[in-house]
Amino acid sequence: MATFVERNFPHAAFATGWYQIAWSGEIKLKETKSMRYFSQDLVCYRGESGKIYLMDAHCPHLGAHLGVGGCVENENIRCPFHGWLWDCEGKNVEVPYSERVNRAKSIKTWEVREVNEAILTWYDSEGKPPSWEPPVIPEAVDDNFYKCEPGGTYTWGKVRVHPQFLAENAADIAHFRFVHRAPETPKVELMEIKGHHAHLIHKYPYGKKPSDLTPSGTIWGDLEVEAWGVGLINFRLVKYFDLVNALNITPIDEEYSDIRASCWVSKKYGDNKDELSGKAKKAVDEQFRLTDFDVPIWENMLYVKRAPLVAEEAKAYSDLRKWCDQFYPAKEEVQS
């Protein structure tokens, strides 16, 4: 299989930042979940306190996978092979058939945050701690909006796409007309880049003809896009529909990523205040449908490092690419 470097991408390392590894509702009390991200096997579990933990998956004793048959005890996890007990800091606290614990061995633990109905982890190729915190999406904590789980979530699993392809969508105004069937090309109204946060507003035409969501035909509203690193991206419909779509992407390895969408939409569009329904459900389904158009393009494209951008797209696209560069180790760029 071709790696992203072989597909002409200029960076070999994964970008530093926060990445979604699950939704909150996927991991119940005392449950474990096996996963693979950043080319590493991981185990995530929820302790009896309700707190989420993430660590490397394999027991240092004889290599068993803690997510396959391992059990949670208080805030600790017990290996299914020989019963060694590891605490949430990765330290051995019990060997059940010995009077001594093994202080020489430990398991790497990962920084995690539970926010916006999602479980996020911090990745840094050099092992540095988090330099910023993930955002709280206002709609995710607003009782006037439907919770994203269960009806407002969707996963595109093991997609052959690099995370930066999604981040670059924030500045790619031209593709909306041809990929997402917008009646006209949007215009960049605002672009602010500061540190790990990028903020754009597009003047955007919604709908080609009358429908349930656009009864009078095309409506010009705003599409607000925010990115926190390359892993967390929000698309918010403004002056048209009260909806925000968090489209988060996490690399499995150098070839594949998981993409997760979480939508929060105002209850005023629903037929049932307790369950996603009515126009609210249609609007959420439309968000997922629009991403379906992107996926086959992402999976088969090459990365053009020196793209021949035209004047209408050049500044926003170039500025966003430069912003993305900061998240990769400075000395690892692939030379062409």
79 inside domain: yes
Do 102 and 150 have their domain in common?
no
Q: Among 123, 151, 171, which residue terminates a domain?
A: 123
* CATH code, domain with 74: 2.102.10.10
- Do 59 and 81 meet the contact criterion of CB atoms below 8 Å apart? yes
Do 212 and 303 have their domain in common?
yes
The whole-angstrom separation of Cα 235 and Cα 229 is 14
Q: What is the domain extent for residue 35?
A: 17-123
Do 210 and 74 have their domain in common?
no
63 inside domain: yes
pLDDT computed for residue 324 by the predictor: 95
* Below-70 pLDDT ranges, the chain: 1-3, 206-220, 331-336
| Rg for the chain, CA atoms, rounded | 22
Residue 252 host element (H or E): none
312 inside domain: yes
Q: Domain total for the chain?
A: 2
The whole-angstrom separation of Cα 46 and Cα 73 is 10
Q: Among 123, 157, 184, which residue terminates a domain?
A: 123
pLDDT tens track for 14-71: 999 999 999 999 999 999 999 999 999 999 999 999 999 999 999 999 999 999 999 9
pLDDT computed for residue 203 by the predictor: 83
pLDDT computed for residue 230 by the predictor: 96
pLDDT tens track for 5-27: 777 888 889 999 999 999 999 99
Question: And the tokens for 279?
Answer: 């126009």
**Residue 323 corresponds to which amino acid?**
W
pLDDT computed for residue 21 by the predictor: 98
Alpha helices in 54-209 (DSSP H): 163-168, 175-179
Do 142 and 281 have their domain in common?
yes
pLDDT computed for residue 177 by the predictor: 82
Do 208 and 115 have their domain in common?
no
The whole-angstrom separation of Cα 295 and Cα 34 is 25
* CATH code, domain with 280: 3.90.380.10
DSSP string, 180-249: S--SS--EEEEEEEETTEEEEEEEEEE-SS--SS-TTS-EEEEEEEEEETTTEEEEEEESS--EEEEEEE
Do 163 and 281 have their domain in common?
yes
- Do 136 and 116 meet the contact criterion of CB atoms below 8 Å apart? yes
pLDDT computed for residue 100 by the predictor: 96
332 inside domain: no
175 inside domain: yes
Q: For residue 289, what are the contacts with CB-CB under 8 A and spacing of at least 6?
A: none
Please state whether the peptide bond connecting residue 150 to the residue before it is cis, i.e. omega within 30 degrees of 0.
yes
The whole-angstrom separation of Cα 118 and Cα 28 is 13
